[in-house]
Amino acid sequence: MMENAQQQRRAEKLWTADFILITFASFFLFFGFQMLLPTLPVYMQDLGGDNTAVGLIIGIFTVFALVTRPLVGAVMGNSKKGWLMAGLLLCFVIISGYHWTTSVVLLLLARCVHGVGWGVVTVTSGTLAADVIPAARRGEGIGYFGLASTLAMALAPAIGLAILDGSWHMQGVIFIAAGSTILSLLCAWGVKRKRSNKDVHTANVEKPQAKPSFRSQLFEPKALFPSLLALLIGIVYGGIVSFITLFGKEVNIGNVGLFFTLNAVCLLIVRLISGRLFDRKGHVWVILPGSVLMAAALIVLSYAHDLTTLAISAVLFGLGFGAVQPSLQAWILNRVEPAKRGPANATFYSMFDLGIGGGAMLLGQLAEATSYAAMYRYSFLVVVFFCLVYVSYVWRRSESSLK
Q: What is the mean pLDDT of the chain?
A: 84
pLDDT on residue 208 = 47
pLDDT on residue 44 = 85
- Confidence check: pLDDT of 382 > 70: yes
pLDDT on residue 50 = 73
Check residues 249 and 273 and name the one with the higher pLDDT. Answer: 273
Closest CA to 140 of 326, 3, 285: 326
Mean pLDDT of 15-22: 93
- Confidence check: pLDDT of 206 > 70: no
pLDDT on residue 212 = 56
pTM: 0.71
pLDDT on residue 205 = 43
- Confidence check: pLDDT of 301 > 90: yes
- Confidence check: pLDDT of 380 > 80: yes
- Confidence check: pLDDT of 378 > 90: yes
Lowest mean pLDDT among 162-166, 224-228, 299-303, 321-325: 162-166
pLDDT on residue 39 = 81
pLDDT tens-digit readout, 151-190: 887 788 778 878 887 778 899 999 999 999 999 999 999 9
pLDDT tens-digit readout, 319-346: 999 999 989 988 998 888 877 877 887 7
pLDDT on residue 51 = 60
pLDDT tier, 89 (very low <50, low <70, confident <90, very high otherwise): very high
Mean pLDDT of 119-127: 90
pLDDT tier, 200 (very low <50, low <70, confident <90, very high otherwise): very low
Mean pLDDT of 256-272: 82
Mean pLDDT of 34-49: 83
Check residues 87 and 265 and name the one with the higher pLDDT. Answer: 87
